[in-house]
Chain A
């Protein structure tokens, strides 16, 4: 029995890795630009398709393809922010919601045209395998997702804390006017942020593609998941997605066994409500501003 619970808590931790790595980009966009990117899930699905195409056409392993996919998404995200999103991002929040909602539509339906609505999965020899350790099963992809999340969170934190560009992003996220007066070019900072987060979203998407079957319409639930994890962990914090993802993953896993899997959504959104009431800025967020 003890062993079962250890495995269930481990499953929750690893699911936390998948959830957290998906929320990393979403949290950054929200925290820095006050942009709730409703197309976030579709970005991830697009990255999963790209990884699949690279695997099938060029035989490129998804983990080797990751830097390339990151760069493509960085460039695409940079241009998208610079060309389109910057036009509305400083305005009403409603406008950015509308724009990213439209973007999600265009992305999802373009993917149906390009890849058909058929379900796909990035299937490598190790995608369904596990490591056995201490009598527990460590599914390879999920374990790596948690490891990558730890590394990426650390890198993101170092980048934001210690580099010039990172400090520019943080300054802009605190307040745009003073940042502008200090000589920062806000549209460029925003484009850099969106590029970076698009790259991170793509990494999350590859992990999703390895661990689940996906179709062009699968983006919606991913966006909702990232939304919940971001609020739990704290908007715009480097470590928030990790903390939020793990808490949500473990609670869902344990709760789904005690109460039954039907109640997973009740647990998830109950937790969300609780956090919004008790700590509106998230677990790692600064206390009420």
Chain B
């Protein structure tokens, strides 16, 4: 009935080609089809990654962390396996941030591409599903991007991690607050796996270390209004607010705390302050806010691949033009664990690499000293705390770093410029 106009045709073509371009981006990263783990002197390691979708932000950080390790190892000649040097290649496939895809891409890389060693995608739910496939095929996968305890309580034997449990994230923050005379704390957390575990761990730690938890509530992820919770919290007048959720909710809480003029001596978040966009998004209102972190370039650790933590930051900045955040560093550390295990096993045989990982014991890398536990998780990593100062993140914990602390207690919102 309707006469199709020319313009409509062009719009259709434009939309179609845009779709194809986007689809192409997803698969371009996969490169030529591989023929096995060490074909042609190259060791292939598979990694589903969140190139697109809701986790694309952190997905890129993990992607860059793996890539930095790959490029550095290759520049240093490769991994030494039985006296011979092999190049490494991390094969990425876009899981679109979807856990179901993380699993099917792991399956695809195993069956079609013949890949036998894996690094994980980002975020606990994606790791949870991808590791199921790795375990079924008895091939090792090292997780970088999720510390949910439930990943490691399934009795799996082929799953390892560079992350501590989520429940340990807030320990350092609370240790710091204790030294500043803070007694009463309000906790607010999102309803996803990571936030729940981090919050439970944090609240338990607070109660056992003499804090008074005066408020605790869980809100749905992607909440767009928390003013009523802040009004309630204001009635209890806690010294500190600890938020465990996602970046956008941390920003929302700061914005709304200021709008409602609810003041705290200290505000801390698990996710948010350590990312450069936090200070950029909030401007001056982000000053003095604390962030739980897993790694900062100031830490006094080093290893043979990356050198010191500071050198890691330098290499990263040269490669990608921005300062590394802990997501990238922890991803590089996971890749480094894989490299260590391959060299120790003297083989790329998945069973041998798995056994080497299980027997790594206590290792010191540029991100710290930790012990690989029997269930594949790690323990003993000393976590830093950062603070936003003049738009930059500054390490203020552990130990001597606390002399860098500023704005404690935080100035009231209406006393700030």
- Does the CB pair B248–A8 fall under 8 Å? no
- Does the CB pair A128–B19 fall under 8 Å? no
- Minimum CB–CB distance from A100 to chain B (whole Å) comes to 12
- Does the CB pair A139–B227 fall under 8 Å? yes
The docked-state distance in angstroms from the alpha carbon of A112 to that of B52 is: 8
- Does the CB pair B255–A127 fall under 8 Å? yes
Does A79 make an interface contact (CB < 8 A)? yes
Q: Which chain A residues in 10-48 approach chain B with CB under 8 Å?
A: 11-12, 14-15, 18
Collect the chain A residues with CB atoms within 8 Å of residue B54's CB.
Answer: 215, 217, 220
- Does the CB pair A80–B251 fall under 8 Å? no
Q: Of the listed stretches B8-16, B125-133, B134-142, B399-407, name the one at the interface; the rest are far from the partner chain.
A: B8-16
- Does the CB pair A117–B60 fall under 8 Å? yes
Mask for B50-61, Cβ within 8 A of A = 1, else 0?
001110110110
Q: Of the listed stretches A165-173, A257-265, A280-288, name the one at the interface; the rest are far from the partner chain.
A: A257-265
Collect the chain A residues with CB atoms within 8 Å of residue B97's CB.
Answer: 217
Given A7-B231, A117-B56, A121-B251, decide whether A84 and B8 contact each other with a Cβ distance below 8 A: yes
Mask for A238-258, Cβ within 8 A of B = 1, else 0?
000000000001001110110
Q: Of the listed stretches A57-65, A151-159, A206-214, A271-279, name the one at the interface; the rest are far from the partner chain.
A: A206-214
- Does the CB pair B8–A211 fall under 8 Å? no
- Minimum CB–CB distance from B272 to chain A (whole Å) comes to 9
- Does the CB pair A187–B2 fall under 8 Å? yes
Q: Which chain B residues in 352-402 approach chain A with CB under 8 Å?
A: none
Q: Of the listed stretches A102-110, A196-204, A229-237, name the one at the interface; the rest are far from the partner chain.
A: A102-110
Does B111 make an interface contact (CB < 8 A)? no
- Does the CB pair B15–A256 fall under 8 Å? no
Does B22 make an interface contact (CB < 8 A)? yes
- Does the CB pair B191–A262 fall under 8 Å? yes
Given A8-B231, A18-B224, decide whether A264 and B281 contact each other with a Cβ distance below 8 A: no
Does B179 make an interface contact (CB < 8 A)? no
- Does the CB pair B259–A130 fall under 8 Å? yes
Mask for B74-106, Cβ within 8 A of A = 1, else 0?
000000000000000000000001000000000
- Does the CB pair A12–B60 fall under 8 Å? no
Closest Cβ neighbor of A112 among chain B residues: B56
- Does the CB pair A102–B259 fall under 8 Å? no
Which one of A187, A217, A260 lies within 8 Å of B217 (CB-CB)? A260
Does A101 make an interface contact (CB < 8 A)? no
Closest Cβ neighbor of A120 among chain B residues: B281
The docked-state distance in angstroms from the alpha carbon of A117 to that of B60 is: 9
Interface residues on B, range: 35 or more
A-B interface contact total, Cβ < 8 Å: 160
The docked-state distance in angstroms from the alpha carbon of A112 to that of B217 is: 32
- Does the CB pair A109–B60 fall under 8 Å? no
Collect the chain B residues with CB atoms within 8 Å of residue A82's CB.
Answer: 5, 7-8
Does B228 make an interface contact (CB < 8 A)? yes
Collect the chain B residues with CB atoms within 8 Å of residue A225's CB.
Answer: 224
- Does the CB pair B22–A110 fall under 8 Å? yes
- Does the CB pair B11–A256 fall under 8 Å? no
Does A163 make an interface contact (CB < 8 A)? no
- Does the CB pair B12–A11 fall under 8 Å? no
Does B300 make an interface contact (CB < 8 A)? no
Mask for B219-255, Cβ within 8 A of A = 1, else 0?
1101111111101100100000000000110011011
Does B27 make an interface contact (CB < 8 A)? no
- Does the CB pair B8–A261 fall under 8 Å? no
Q: Which chain A residues in 63-109 approach chain B with CB under 8 Å?
A: 79-80, 82-84, 86-87, 102-103, 105-106, 109
- Does the CB pair A139–B281 fall under 8 Å? no
Collect the chain A residues with CB atoms within 8 Å of residue B225's CB.
Answer: 11, 15, 18, 249, 252-253
Given A106-B19, A261-B226, A262-B218, decide whether A83 and B248 contact each other with a Cβ distance below 8 A: no
Which one of B4, B11, B258 lies within 8 Å of A128 (CB-CB)? B258
The docked-state distance in angstroms from the alpha carbon of A18 to that of B259 is: 15
Collect the chain B residues with CB atoms within 8 Å of residue A140's CB.
Answer: 259
Given A18-B224, A117-B56, A120-B281, decide whether A79 and B18 contact each other with a Cβ distance below 8 A: no
Which one of A4, A118, A127, A265 lies within 8 Å of B231 (CB-CB)? A4
- Does the CB pair B217–A262 fall under 8 Å? yes
Mask for B174-218, Cβ within 8 A of A = 1, else 0?
000000000000000001000000000000000000000000011
Collect the chain B residues with CB atoms within 8 Å of residue A105's CB.
Answer: 19, 22
- Does the CB pair A119–B248 fall under 8 Å? yes
Which one of A86, A118, A221 lies within 8 Å of B57 (CB-CB)? A118
Given A83-B8, A106-B19, A211-B255, decide whether A217 and B56 contact each other with a Cβ distance below 8 A: yes
Q: Which chain A residues in 117-136 approach chain B with CB under 8 Å?
A: 117-121, 123, 127-130
Closest Cβ neighbor of A218 among chain B residues: B248
- Minimum CB–CB distance from A42 to chain B (whole Å) comes to 12
Collect the chain B residues with CB atoms within 8 Å of residue A262's CB.
Answer: 191, 217-220
Which one of A86, A217, A218, A257 lies within 8 Å of B2 (CB-CB)? A86
- Does the CB pair B248–A106 fall under 8 Å? no
- Does the CB pair B8–A119 fall under 8 Å? no
- Does the CB pair A212–B248 fall under 8 Å? yes
- Does the CB pair A84–B11 fall under 8 Å? yes
- Minimum CB–CB distance from A138 to chain B (whole Å) comes to 9
Which residues of chain A have a CB within 8 Å of any CB of chain B?
4, 7-8, 11-12, 14-15, 18, 79-80, 82-84, 86-87, 102-103, 105-106, 109-110, 112-113, 116-121, 123, 127-130, 137, 139-140, 142, 187, 208, 211-218, 220-221, 225, 249, 252-254, 256-257, 260-262, 264-265
Ordered by A's residue number, 12 sampled pairs between the chains whose C-beta atoms are within 8 Å are A11-B225, A12-B228, A15-B225, A82-B8, A83-B5, A83-B7, A106-B19, A213-B281, A218-B248, A253-B227, A262-B219, A264-B220
5 additional contacts, CB 8 Å, given A221-B224, A253-B228? A106-B19, A116-B60, A119-B251, A121-B281, A139-B260
Which residues of chain B have a CB within 8 Å of any CB of chain A?
2, 4-5, 7-8, 10-12, 15, 18-19, 22, 25, 52-54, 56-57, 59-60, 97, 191, 217-220, 222-229, 231-232, 235, 247-248, 251-252, 254-256, 258-261, 275, 277, 281-283, 285
Pick the 8 closest A-B CB pairs, nearest first. Answer: A117-B56, A83-B8, A217-B54, A213-B251, A261-B219, A139-B259, A83-B11, A117-B57
